[in-house]
Amino acid sequence: MPQSPLTDRSTTVSPAWAIHPASTPIAAPTGEAGPVVSAPAGTLRGVWRQVALPPGATAVYDRSAAFYNIPYAQPPVGPRRFMAPVRAERWQGVREAALPGPTPQRRPFGVTTAIPEPSVSGEEVLNVFTPDPSSEARLPVLVWIYGGGFFAGSHNSPYYDGAAFNRDAVVTVSLSYRLGMDGFGWVPDSDAPVNRGILDQVMALEWVRENIAAFGGAPGRVTIAGQSAGGASVLALLTAPCARGLFSAAICQSGGTTAATLADARAVATREAELAGVPATLAGWRSLTEEEVLDVAATLGTEFPLFDIDLGPEGLAPFLRLPRTMSRTFMPVVDGEVLPQATFEAVRAGAGHQVPLLIGGVTHEMTLIGHALAEPLARLCGSAEQVSVDRLLAEAGLEPVEVKAFHAAYPELTGRPDADLVGAGQVISDYLFRLPALEVVRLRAADRETAGRTWLYDFAWGSTLPGPGAGLAGHCQEVPFVFDCLAHPHADGVQGPQRPQALATVAHADWMGFLRHGDPGWQPWARSCTGRTYGGPKAPEGASDGEVFSWDFHLLQRG
Q: How does pLDDT run across 397-438, given as a tens digit for each residue?
A: 999 999 999 999 999 999 899 999 999 999 999 999 999 999
> Could you tell me which residue, 114 or 536, shows the higher pLDDT?
536
Nearest residue to 197 via CA among 148, 129, 158, 245: 148
The count of other CB atoms within 10 Å of the CB of residue 521 is 13
Q: Residue 6: what pLDDT?
A: 27
Q: Which of 138-147, 166-175, 446-455 has the lowest mean pLDDT?
A: 446-455
Q: Domains of the chain (ranges plus CATH)?
A: 15-253 (3.40.50.1820), 356-558 (3.40.50.1820)
Distance CA 317, CA 60 (A): 52
**What is the per-residue pLDDT for 112?**
54
The type of residue at 479 is V
3-state DSSP call for residue 101? Answer: coil
The arithmetic mean of pLDDT across residues 125-153, rounded, is: 92
- Cβ–Cβ under 8 Å, residues 533 and 544: yes
Q: What sign results for the dihedral spanned by CA atoms 89, 92, 98, 101?
A: negative
Q: What's the pLDDT tens digit per position in 57-107?
A: 677 899 999 999 999 999 888 899 999 999 999 999 999 998 876 666 555
* Nearest one of 179, 198, 195 to 187, comparing CA atoms: 195
Give the CA distances from residue 530 to residues 411, 457, 546, in Å, rounded to whole numbers and listed in that order: 19, 9, 5
Residues for the chain: how many in total?
A: 559
Task: Give the strand pairing for 47-51 and 63-71.
Answer: antiparallel
**Cβ-Cβ contacts under 8 Å for 444 (sequence gap 6 or more):** 347, 353, 357, 450, 451, 453, 454, 525
Distance CA 291, CA 299 (A): 13
Q: Is 331 helix (H, G, I), strand (E, B) or coil?
A: coil
Residues whose CB is less than 8 angstroms from the CB of residue 507 and which lie 6 or more positions away in sequence, other chains included: 459, 478, 481, 482, 534, 543
Which of 94-108, 302-316, 343-357 is least confident? 94-108
Query: Mind telling me the catalytic residues?
Result: 228, 365, 475
For 355-368, the pLDDT digits (tens) are: 999 999 999 999 99
Strand pairing report for 94-96 and 42-45: parallel
Q: Say yes or no to pLDDT of 477 above 80.
A: yes
Question: Do 129 and 66 meet the contact criterion of CB atoms below 8 Å apart?
Answer: yes
pLDDT digits (tens, 9 = 90+) for 235-287: 999 999 999 999 999 999 999 888 899 999 999 999 999 999 999 999 999 99
Residue 10 has pLDDT above 80, yes or no: no
